Structure 1
Amino acid sequence: MTDPIKEIAAKRSVEAVYTGGTVRWSANGQKLFSTCTNVVKVIDLEDNSSSYTIGDPEDELRITCTVVDKNRNRLLIAYNNQVIREYTIPLDPLATKPELARTWKTMHLAPILVMEFNEEGNLLATGSADHIVKVWNLTEQQCTHTLKGPSVVSAILFGRNEKLVVGYIEGQLHLYNIMKGAPKKHVMTWNNHNSHITGLLQVPDSRVIVALSRDQTMSLHETETQETLRVLPLYESIESGTIGHNGNLFTVGEEGVIKEFVIETAKLVRKKMISSSQLDHISYDVVSNRFLVTSAEQNLIVLDFEDLKSVRQIVGSHDEIYSCCLLGKGETYMAVGSNTSEIRLYNTKTLDCQLIRGHTESVLSVVSPSWDTSILASCSKDNSIIIWRLVTSSEDIATLVPLCAATGHANTVTALAISNSGRAPFLASVSSDCTIKLWGLGNYGKMKEAKIDMEKGFVEQLPKLTCSSTMVAHGKDVNCIDISESDALIATGGMDKLVKLWQVDTNKMQLGIAGTLSGHRRGVGDVKFAKNSHKLASCSGDMTIKIWNISEKSCLQTITGHTCAVFRVLFVRNDSQLVSADSAGIVKIWTIKTADCESSVDGHTDKIWSLSKNHDESEFVTAGTDGRIVVWKDVTEEKQRKEDEKRREAIEQDQTLTNLLTQKRYSDALVFALTLVKPYCAYKVINSLMSEETPEELSTAIGRLDSRQIEIILQFCVKWNTNSRTSLVAQRVLFEIIHTIEPDQLVSMPGAYGYIESLLPYTQRHMDRLDRAKQDVSLFNFVWKQMRNAV
């Protein structure tokens, strides 16, 4: 694409869909209701475009928990002001958002932490941090029980025969009889646990309940006989559990493993590693026969029941994103490095995400070479670099397999760059240890996929790249690096306010000093070589962008316009334009020749750390501290086409109106002007009607209007009446409307009273002005007559 960019617009974005808390299945097993701070995100597992939000994102209230009834046609949301909102979930999957059915204040004294329905769905129990459980009859809309406990409520379960079991964070279990007229509400206390009760489950076709705890045990209790059947060790701090259709217990906890147990004996049937972090919640959907697991890193993982294979992974919240990179054939995948140790690999079409484990700390940079888009290099705060290959399975599920690693930097590896040619491929890296290193990739094509044992050190098991050259690059941390199109030069920028140039001997794979570019007054955030000219762009914390002549090592141009630190810059459109991003989340488009800002877009709410483009520069990707990934597209041509279309329509409409006025078809012209909502055109038509010799023409034209057109012309009258030059037309139209249309019909219009209220003040002013003019004329006549009589 060669046409200059004038406008960009967000094509789509990847935003937070889960920030911790509860996640519920929909009735058909295709949607998830996930908590995202102050709203509920409805995630469509089959079609991402069908996802939507329940609630107002601007609402200051925070969601504490949610619940869906057993039929899954009602969603209840509890907020931190102890208010519950009930939404009706439509049964039709094509229907739009759930509707708010009712809202009520629970009178709890602290946030509601857990809510549960009974089997029939007519009773709701709410447990709070105020140690109280309230039971609500939703049919009669009243609170039937208030049950005071020993500590904060952590789990609730409706048992058989109108029993209620409540678990507390100190490990107690209370059994309540909530039958109407029961002589005693609290019937039993079980003290088999000494830590947080994290789950209560009903064993199918029995009166036995299972209690799970963080004390690494589970207990079985009979709700009728009130006896404890057994307490069994699970050898893991359990966070959540569910019962599958085979009657076995599935648990997740601190080990990041899903485990299947026989309930009666706690015999371990199978287990599978799901995440390197703790797993917080698991739920089973019998319709789709799948598990939903949430991790402590706020990721959602959908698993198949039979083999516990991951069917879908959704990143709930990215936290802070440092780098994004498009890769794969047709750029169908995007690697994301963020404030976690995993690389997030997105399918750009479906937005399905795979979590790739390898690094042990935050991933700061991911890059892919143009000569082989199946290769990816990543670097991290763990001081290491890993080379990956993108592999796609027959089921179109992609993953990254490790090929080799590079170690040698003594501190955080901050940025990477890969050569633009595959003839003598190399990787360059910079670090907080102030050095630049060169790594040869000559044998990358022969590298085989490494077999990794995830229990052992990841990087230590990989073949190692050999560093061919190391140079001390800057006096302070090095922030950025880029390689020229010819692979002959490397540019680096650091916190010492300098841009350094380095020669690359690709035969010996050695670095040499090529020069220093000074002029920035703050640390350099990014450097980029022009593709087809001897220019280099750099941006800095001093809020400027500088264009340098590489040959003469001089500054050609300083572009100002950003109001805060500029972190990223890109050459586009054959090096004639720049795209820049700053710490306030602003993206700007610049024309280099004139230093004019063509467009400025508020893309993020915080710092933008990543700015990249696709191969034809039709799309750009930004990401940053706010955790959002935004895909921008060039809409210059589209906007120009729309403007041309509007201009053509306006010319056609003006010509049509002129033709109608020339032919003296005033009634048709008035209808035409009102249909297009053109106040000035309507004013011209009414002026023409008023200047006609037959005054009834205006009355006839207004009589032909329908109620919607009458309402539009009244809106015009309100505006015209505010100006003394156009008030005559407004008053005349109002006169004709009052005398042509029945009063009942006029009053029945939705905004009738509003129009009258708006017309009255200015009408009074016009009357006062006319009265004063009349008095002035009378005085003038009197004086004139007196003067003539005197003569």
Structure 2
Amino acid sequence: MTEPIKEIAAKRSVEAVYTGGTVRWSANGQKLFSTCTNVVKVIDLADNTASYTIGDPEDELRITCTAVDKNRNRLLVAYNNQIIREYSIPLDPSTTKPELARTWKTIHTAPILVMEFNEEGHLLATGSADHIVKVWNLTEQQCTHTLKGPSVVSAILFGKHEKLVVGYIEGQLNLYNIMRGAPKKLVNTWKSHNSHITALLQVPDSRVVVALSRDQTMSIHETETQETLRVLPLYESIEGGAIGHNGNLFTVGEEGVVKEFVIETAKLVRKKRIASSNLDHLAYDVVSNRFLAISAEQNLIILDFENLKIARQIVGFHDEIYSCCLLGKDESHMAVASNTSEIRLYNTKTLDCQLIRGHTESVLSVVSPTWDTSLLASCSKDNSIIFWRLVTSPENDSCSTLVPVAAATGHANTVTALAISNTGRAPFLASVSTDCTIKLWGLGVSTKLKEVKIDAEKDFVEQLPKLTCSSTMVAHGKDVNCVDISESDALIATGGMDKLVKLWQVDTHKMQLGIAGTLSGHRRGVGDVKFAKNSHKLASCSGDMTIKIWNISEKSCLQTISGHSCAVFRVIFARNDSQLISADSAGIIKIWTIKTADCECSIDAHTDKIWSLSKNHNESEFVTAGTDGRIVVWKDVTEEKQKAEDNKRREAIEQDQTLTNLLSQKRYSEALVFALTLAKPFCAFKVINALMAEETPEELGSAIRRLDTRQIEILLQFTVKWNTNSRTSSVAQRVLYEIVHIVDPEELVSMPGAYGYIESFLPYTQRHMDRLDRAKQDVSLFDFVWRQMRSSV
């Protein structure tokens, strides 16, 4: 692509879909209803593009919990002002979106934390931080019970025979009888736990209830006899649980492991680690026979019931994204480095995500070489660099993962950025760090390394083959922020907080670095450096809000581009080095033409800092990401916009020609309909002028009689505008006169905005009348003076 970029538009984006709270299954097991601050995200597990949002993103209220009835045709959403909104879920959400059915204000005095339906779906229990549980009859739309407890409500379960079990954060369990006319509401209190009750589960086809707690135990209770059957140890702080179709108990907790127990004996049947952090929630869907687990890092994990294998992983929210990199055949995957120790590996077609564990602290940069797109290098705050290889499963082409092949250690502090050589003849890696150094690593061996089996109990990096650092140089006086390698691999450029850009020679035979020069001129720290692909130029951007173009040979500044209103963090060359794309700390992307230093377009892309800006191999798409946790894929729409403008211009010419033909043929009625259909006020004005110029005064009235109600309404809108100008007011008054005499008054008043038209007409009409009265007086005075002058002569 060689045409200059004039405009780009968002093609698709990876947004936050879960920010904490509850997640519910849909009726068919193909969708999830997840809370995302002030809206509910409907995640389509079969087709990501079919996902949508329930609620207004601009709403200032925050969602505290949600509930879905057994038939999955109603979604209830509770907000932090104790309001509940009920949405009706259609049978086919792909064609119709959920609609707001009703809203009601609860009488709670604190946020609602738990909501549950009963088996039939006509009763709803709401538990709040005000220690109260309220039971609502949704059919009669009234509150039937108010149940005061000892502490904040943490779990609710409708039992058999109109019983309600409530768990509290202090570990107490209350059993209530909610049958109408029952003499006593609170029938029993169980004190089997001494910590937070996290889940209450009904054993199928029985009156037995299982309570799970953070005190590492579970208790089994009979709601009819009110006795405690067993209290069994689970040896883990339990955060969530579910009962599978086989009748066994599945739990998740602080170990990040899904465990299956026999309920009666708490015998461990199987377990599987699925996360490196805590798991906060577990839900089972009998239709799809899958589990939903939620990690403490707000990731949604779909598990197959039979083997507990991870079927899908969905990142709920990217906290802060530092780097994105396209890799794989035809750029099939995208690696994302964010404020976490895991690399997020996305399939660019399906947006399925995998969490790749290896680093122990936040990953800051990911890069892939052009000569082998299956390789990926990552660096982290843990001072290490890890090489990965993208491996595709032979059984499933769409299932790929990253396997570690090598590691590099040696930096004394955070490794901030990486760059890999552009050719594979003598491949190498350059790394920079906050320890102010640049290191050179030979990659001749790492490209041949195979997958290494990792023992989860041992240090990850220590188990990998090590790369050897061939050269180390003190690069800057302060933290080094960025590094880039020239197209020929002969030079490396680095930028640091000392406001300097440094150039380094690379001897690829000895794999040694040498000083090649210093570029000074920035007044703040350098955020990014990029070599031009086909010219001896280098671009750098800085916190001083400027972009500088340097001549590498002469080590001089060719151009300083200003236009950003805050620090510029990223810059890349585009369109055969004729353009630049830059991104700043306010989330603005700008496209520049280097020759003229003109800004072609400025886009408000993100709500906060942009840390990552990259392009695909043919520069048809660009990827940005930053502090707001969004990943946006942009496409060049210059050609599309040009075609649209050309088509619009051609259409306008054709329409003008049609109108001219109709006027020349004196087909005024057709011309008026044509002008009103296209909503062109000037064309309509020309037609009415032509009608008023006709010898027969009834022509205008005849043309208006042929208009339908919608066309008359449009004509009224035009008339209101014409009446504001003294030059066109006469036409407006004549048209209004004809409409009032032709259209039935009731029909005229029933038009939307009819009163508004009349109100707009009156003040300007009054002005025109006053102006005519003054003109009449002036004419009379002139006539009187003229007569007096003649008589005196």
TM-score (norm 1): 0.99
Match of 2:402 among 394, 397, 400: 400
Q: Which residue of 1 aligns with 2:647?
A: 645
Q: Provide the C-alpha distance between the structure 2 equivalents of 1:232 and 1:568, rounded to a whole number of angstroms.
A: 57
Q: Which amino acid aligns with 1:183?
A: P
CA offset at residue 774 of structure 1? 1.6
Code of the residue aligned with 1:197 in structure 2: it is I
Cα deviation digits, residues 587-635 of structure 1 (max 9, x gap): 0000001110001000000000000000000100000000000001111
Q: Which of the residues 698, 701, 716 maps onto 2:718?
A: 716
The separation in 2 between residues aligned to 1:418 and 1:583, in whole angstroms, is 26
Correspondence for 2:444: 442
C-alpha displacement of 1:753:
1.7
CA contact (8 A) 2:388 2:402 kept: yes
Instruction: Kindly state the Cα deviation for residue 724 of structure 1 after the two structures are TM-superposed.
Output: 0.7
Q: CA deviation at 1:508?
A: 0.5
Deviations 1:339-372 (A, max 9, x none): 0000000011110000000001100000000000
Q: 2:741 aligns with which of 739, 742, 763?
A: 739
**Paired residue for 2:246?**
246
How do residues 197-212 of structure 1 correspond to structure 2 at under 5 angstroms? 197-212=197-212
Mapping for residues 94-493 of structure 1, pairs under 5 Å: 94-393=94-393, 394-395=395-396, 396-493=398-495
Counterpart residue number, 2:684: 682
Amino acid at match of 1:8: I
Matching residue of 2:580: 578
Please give the alpha-carbon distance, in whole angstroms, between the structure 2 residues aligned to 1:95 and 1:10: 24
Contact 2:704/2:738 (CA < 8 Å) preserved in 1? yes
TM-aligned CA deviation for residue 96 of structure 1: 2.3
Q: Which runs of structure 2 are paired with 1:518-597 in the superposition (5 Å)?
A: 518-597=520-599
Deviations 1:699-757 (A, max 9, x none): 11111111110010000001111111111111111111111222222222222222112
Shift of 1:770: 1.3
Which residue of structure 2 aligns with residue 18 of structure 1?
A: 18
Please give the secondary structure, in 2, of the residue aligned with 1:390.
Answer: strand
Shift of 1:764: 1.5
Give the aligned partner of residue 775 of structure 1. Answer: 777
In the alignment, the residues of structure 1 paired with residue 458 and residue 136 of structure 2 have an alpha-carbon distance, to the nearest angstrom, of 52
Partner of residue 605 from structure 1, selected from 604, 607, 626? 607
1:441-487 per-position Cα deviation (integer Å, ceiling 9, x unaligned): 01223201000012221111101000010001000000000000000
Secondary structure in structure 2 of the residue aligned to 1:463:
coil
* Alignment root-mean-square deviation, CA: 0.8
Cα deviation code 1:675-706 (max 9, x no counterpart): 10000000011011111111111111111111
The residue matched to 1:500 in structure 2 has which SS? strand
| Large movers: runs of 4+ above 3 Å | none
Q: Report what 2:662 is aligned to.
A: 660
How far did 1:761 drift? Answer: 1.5
2: CA distance, partners of 1:96 / 1:369:
45
Q: 1:583 & 1:95 partners in 2: Cα distance?
A: 40
Q: Distance in 1 between matches of 2:770 and 2:117?
A: 69
Residue type matched to 1:488 in 2? A
Q: CA deviation at 1:779?
A: 2.2
Gaps of at least 5 residues in structure 2 are none
8 Å contact 2:300–2:316 — kept in the other structure?
yes
Alignment partners' CA distance in 1, 2:231 and 2:440? 60
Residue number in structure 1 paired with 2:618: 616
Aligned to 1:758: 760
**Structure 1 counterpart of 2:88:** 88
| Deviations 1:185-215 (CA, angstroms, capped at 9, x unpaired) | 0111111100000000001111110000000
* 2:201/2:243 contact within 8 Å kept: yes
**What is the distance in 1 between the residues matched to 2:268 and 2:660?**
86
Which of 617, 634, 643 pairs up with 1:632?
634
Aligned equivalents of 1:324 and 1:203: distance in 2? Answer: 46
Contact 2:572 2:581 (C-alpha < 8 Å) held by counterparts: yes
Give 3-state SS (helix, strand or coil) of 2:188's partner: strand
CA distance in 2 between partners of 1:716 and 1:146 (Å):
60
Deviations along 1:128-177, whole A, 9 cap, x unmatched? 00000000000110001101000000000000111000000000000011
Q: 1: distance between equivalents of 2:713 and 2:111? A: 49
Equivalent position to 1:725, from 708, 724, 727: 727
C-alpha distance in structure 2 between counterparts of 1:774 and 1:332, whole Å: 80
Which amino acid counterpart does residue 776 of structure 2 have in structure 1?
K
Query: Secondary structure, in 3 states, of the residue corresponding to 1:593?
Result: coil
Q: Secondary structure at the match of 1:76?
A: strand
Q: Give distance in 1, aligned partners of 2:266 and 2:783.
A: 112
Deviates more, 1:436-445 or 1:139-148: 436-445
Check whether the contact 2:50–2:94 (CA below 8 A) recurs between aligned residues: no
Matched, 1:748 2:750: yes
Give the match's secondary structure for 1:170.
coil
| Matching residue's letter, 1:281 | H
SS at match of 2:557: strand
2:73/2:90 contact within 8 Å kept: yes
Distance 2:586 2:743 in 1: 57
Contact 2:80 / 2:112 at 8 angstroms: preserved in 1? yes
Distance in 2, matches of 1:69 and 1:28, equals 13
Matched position secondary structure for 1:406? strand
TM-score (norm 2): 0.99
| SS of match in other structure, 1:758 | helix
Contact 2:427 2:442 in 1 (8 A): yes
* AA aligned opposite 2:133: V
Distance 2:240 2:275 in 1: 15
SS at structure 2 position matched to 1:617: coil
Partner of 2:55: 55
Contact kept in structure 1, 2:356 and 2:402, CA below 8 Å: yes
Displacement after TM superposition at 1:93 (Å): 3.7
Query: Aligned partners of 1:52, 1:760: CA distance in 2, in Å?
Result: 47
- AA partner of residue 44 (structure 2): D
* Distance in 1 between residues matched to 2:81 and 2:744, nearest whole Å: 52
